[in-house]
A and B are shown apart, each in its own frame.
Chain A
């Protein structure tokens, strides 16, 4: 139970930013999904309102239990997470070439990977808390790496490259905050990034010098469409009907918005359905087109307040466990923002990740609201209570 006095701790700007983002979601969705369902212009707005309200309820529920009480169950959480991710392979339904959904009823399915991220943050925070001050040597990195690798491989196998990358981001972010030796860990990251870069280069290169010929077209453990997305991202004009089409249409939408935007429901790219997935993955393009640079800046300001206040919550957390949970959540949401807006504006490949709190989607909304609930949980029970 939250003490009434705890409410004094509440980070008001943070809560206001969340509410503004949710309001933005409904406004943008009311134009982005206006033409999607014939005869029901507010179909998605109504559903999203439901997800938001239930999400707020979930956040409040999460708030009721002191987060510190979860720490004891860390290994159960970790185990449950593995089971959940494996369940997709058993009960999962296929959508667009990947099994990511578990059907609950005929019209309702959940996307376990959305929740898996939270479970990973919770369990990994405990794992790292136990290793406080013991992350200085290379060998200290091994155990944490394998701890995260298992769920990562499971999502990679779905295949859900986007979520795999999110896990990677969470791992890196939490490791750095938890006190990993910057030089050693940073060196490893650099080496890893170089290896991946080199492998991609070898895979795609066509005219290598003779001494490198043997490595030309290096096979990569990725699906053909995922690799194609990468090449198309490098040159969208190559594939004007598929992914390249999506990237181009999105860039045209964003770019044509100009400074003031085309106006509410006046965007041709969105209203005439040139944009793909305009209520989910490409909702940012609709916002950019209709509300222009002014709209984009407003959204980025909301996100900035949200993230900075979120980091502030981490700074004032009661214990390292809280610091790390908050860090994980902030890293996760920042990374989502980066890849979604990056994808909408042509500087990131298409990975199919929604924009947190804005895109339409039940699972994502619930997962994000639970995350916010956790942040508030940490916020309300921050150190100020103790040193009062």
Chain B
């Protein structure tokens, strides 16, 4: 049975459709990337998945159960969320933030137990930040902050993690650190990741690392194409999705590793465009 199954999902604000007819299935140990231009409704779709918004049509099943019938704490035991941008308010320590991942396991009148603390410590160790446990998280760099958010999601002990632009605003190194952490998680712990991203290359990154990966192109209110990155992220599809000219190149790193990447070249109607075509 798929961990997450969405059938015929549709949602709109005040009668204006944001998306419709969306279907997807995510199984254990799989990365599902949602790719699409700005404003195509990726975040809204993720909000529906998380139960923050209610679908107008269709159903979301978590492990076969309809999300409408599941209470928030139980949804939070299946789906963890790593936000796109986390607004920092109070300078909590890293440990205090990660412990918040244990909320769905903690009664309304109680606080985290020693067992919760050791789970949070494990989560911090997985992202490699155990040294930072007593630092105020407001003083961390963007990449480290993102790793703390991932650790918090890990402390939630869910089979699925949902990420919205997990590498937005990060430099190359921190971007790779986050991606490497994700690959490790999927490989070693069998977690599944559903992520929205502006970088289709991320899908190639997972595929290049032999992680089972699906990509959905979100276009014209729905998932226009779903499949393996190698098939879906073609020059033709990128052209119709983003209105750009791009090349998909492959580089032989050594004899059993091939690295695929997209090189965006120009928008369709620019001067450069004539040369490419």
Q: Do A and B come from one complex?
A: no
Name B's A-contacting residues (CB within 8 A): none
Q: Which A positions have Cβ atoms within 8 angstroms of B?
A: none
